[in-house]
């Protein structure tokens, strides 16, 4: 059974810092990995999707990497801003399944 773990559970940084969020998964047979952002009481906003054949994806100040063989992904946020404050969720689609398996998230607070 796939399990997804995110470390740290919570993170507080001053504005302008570069930061890394970590995600690990136990079954490396995945189709893809997706990073989401969730604001309090809101739905999920898709940030980046990395296919199993890819190593990284970039969108603006966000860069996500994938090391499928070791079961790890990182989300790098450059020059963090207070508006980046949210919970970041990592999720994978495991081969043989259609739906996402989620980690429990990292709650990020960027202090102005």
Q: Which residues here bind other proteins, judged by CB under 8 A?
A: 31-32, 34, 36, 41-46, 49, 51-52, 89, 91, 93, 95, 97-105
Rounded to whole angstroms, the Cα distance separating 1 from 74 reads 22
Rounded to whole angstroms, the Cα distance separating 1 from 8 reads 22
- Smallest gap from residue 15 Cβ to other proteins (A): 28
- Smallest gap from residue 28 Cβ to other proteins (A): 15
- Smallest gap from residue 110 Cβ to other proteins (A): 23
- Smallest gap from residue 11 Cβ to other proteins (A): 17
Which H/E stretch holds residue 100?
A: strand 100-102
Rounded to whole angstroms, the Cα distance separating 59 from 48 reads 7
**Adjacent-strand bridge partners of 32:** 51, 93
Rounded to whole angstroms, the Cα distance separating 99 from 71 reads 18
């Amino acid at each position: 059974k796939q399990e997804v773990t995110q470390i740290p559970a919570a993170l507080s940084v001053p504005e302008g810092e570069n930061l890394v969020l970590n995600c690990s998964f136990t079954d490396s047979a995945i189709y893809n990995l997706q990073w989401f952002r969730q604001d309090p009481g809101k739905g999920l906003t898709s940030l980046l999707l990395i296919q199993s054949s890819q190593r990284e994806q970039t969108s603006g100040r966000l860069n996500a990497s994938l090391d499928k063989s070791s079961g790890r992904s990182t989300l790098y946020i450059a020059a963090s801003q207070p508006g980046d404050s949210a919970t970041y969720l990592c999720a994978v689609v495991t081969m043989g399944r259609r739906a996402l398996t989620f980690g429990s998230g990292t709650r990020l607070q960027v202090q102005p």
